[in-house]
Amino acid sequence: MTVRKPWSYDELFIVLNIYHKLAFGQFDKRNPVIISLAQKLGRTTSSVAMKLCNLASFDPELHLRGVKGLTGASRLDKEVWEDFHAKLDENIPASEDKLRCLFGISVNEEVEVSRRNGIQRRSKGSILPSVTEVSTLVKQRRGQSFFRNVVLNNYAEQCAITLIAFRELLVASHILPWHSHPRERLDVRNGICLSRLHDAAFDCGLITFDDAYRLILSPQIKDAISNQRVLAENFGAFAGVSLRFPEHALLPNPAFLAHHRKTIFKS
């Protein structure tokens, strides 16, 4: 007779971190992320995939889309879900720390959660400054790392404009700026996966998107397109084209895009 290994609070805390980095349709035992996590937790891939589907039963975003998840969630599952979401600004960095500890990832490395390659470590190429700065910086960097993984996986690791699928060239672009909108910093609907070139243009207001998610070019870009081939190929060719979203993706918040058009876009 097989004895089931009960889930601990800390394990569920880590699973919730991964839950938010994958779309519902990616909760599959063959997903490299789930395989990586199951190996570290000492569990089967089926067990981890099922737990993710159990947790989905508490997700209000999925309920709005008619997705219910599995019905076998435990009392502890519900408790951890409620605790985790009660203070996201604190619990997301904390869950990043627990994930890093599980995978033995140092302070000078980043966690990459890729639906293609599983959970891996990546060198940051920089050292944390002084001891007095560590607490604030670590929390910020954990949040930024979480946001990047959430957004890139939400967009199937492709630029939503060009469909470039080279992870090192992709950025989780904030629609509402990180520094001025702390409440929306970690909201996946405040992010768009863009190439580094398009992220830079979006960040400084040279491009934006309308309510139908179509690309709008600023007058500066339009004026330069005629005599700069690279601009014509990377911007002119996509003007008026809607962002491409994979199945199950959470779409950008239209109110956030309206704010970008009003306050950042150089019309």
Buried b (16+ CB within 10 A) or exposed e, 9-34: eebbbbbbbbbbbbbbebbbeebebb
User: Which pLDDT score, from 0 to 100, does residue 132 have?
Assistant: 47
213 pLDDT higher than 50: yes
| DSSP codes of every residue in 113-173 | EETTTEEEEEE-SS----HHHHHHHHHHHHHHHHHHHHHHHHTTTS-TTT----GGGEEEE
User: Which pLDDT score, from 0 to 100, does residue 124 have?
Assistant: 65
For 165-179, what is each residue's pLDDT tens digit? 999 999 999 999 988
Residue 218 tokens read as: 């600023």
- Domain residue spans in the chain? 9-154, 167-263
Q: What pTM did the predictor assign?
A: 0.79
User: Among 75-79, 130-134, 179-183, which is the least confidently predicted range?
Assistant: 130-134
Exposed/middle/buried for 121, CB within 10 Å: 0-12, 13-18, 19+?
middle
2 pLDDT higher than 50: no
Element holding 174 (H helix, E strand): strand 170-174
For 64-88, what is each residue's pLDDT tens digit? 888 888 888 999 999 999 999 999 8
Token look-up 């704010």 returns 259
255 pLDDT higher than 70: yes
User: Which pLDDT score, from 0 to 100, does residue 125 have?
Assistant: 55
Helix, strand or coil, per DSSP, at residue 43: coil
